[in-house]
Structure 1
Amino acid sequence: MTVLTGVGASAGVAHGPARVIHGPSDFQLFRTGDVLVCRTTDPAWTPLFGLASAVVTETGGMLSHAAIVAREYGIPAVLGVTNVVDALTDGGLLTVDGSQGTVMIKGPAAE
C-alpha cells in the first residue's frame, strides 16, 4: 500500500475509486462516490463536489477553492499532493483522510 501526503484541508475519511479529471471535458466521466483527483479546481468544478466522496489535488491549501467547497459539502480533501495526477490511474481504490492529510492507494491506482 502506498501513502501520499499533502495538506488536510477538509476533515473526515472517505473511500472510493480514483477518478483523474484533467478539465471540464472530462466531467462526464465522473460518477457518484468517485474521489476527484485533479491538479486544481475553480468554480466551474463545483458540481463535481456534490458527487465526490473526497477530493485530492496537486495544488492548493486551506483557503483554496477546493478546500472551501469540500468543507461546504462536508467531504474530505487533501491538497498539495505532489504529482498526484501522474501517480494515479482511474479506478484504483483510495482512502482519503482529510484530517491527517493522507491518501492511501489500494490496488491498481498506482502506475
Structure 2
Amino acid sequence: MTMFENIENGALVNEWGLKELFPHTLFPAVITDVHAAQVGYRVVPEQPFAPQQLDPLTARRAAYATESDHLKVEAEYDALLSGTDPDYAAWIAAVTAIKERYPLETSSDE
C-alpha cells in the first residue's frame, strides 16, 4: 500500500485518504506521486520488513505466519480430501528452520 506524507505537517495517509481529494478518480490505486504533489503530499518510500529488528518471539511469529502456517493448513486440507493422515514434513521443516533462525533465550532456572 502506498503511503503519502503531507509536506506541511508530516501527516501520513494511504491512497484511500487522498481519494477524497480526487473524487473523479475511480480507484485509489491510480493516484500517483504527481496527483499527491498537486495537493501537497509526497510518496513515502516503502521500507522493507526487517524481522531482525524485532524481538525473537515476535520475529518467530511473523515468520510462522508468512512461511509455515500455510504448509500445515495445506497438509490438513489435502489429508481431509484424500482420507489419509496429514503429511506434516514440510511444515515441520519450516518451523525447525524458523526456530533455528530466531532462537529464544532460555533462563538458567530451567
Greater length-normalized contact order (CA 8 Å, ≥ 6 residues apart): 1
Common fold by TM > 0.5:
no
Taking structure 2 as the reference length, the TM-score comes to 0.20
Q: Which has the higher helix share?
A: 2
Q: Which has the higher strand share?
A: 1
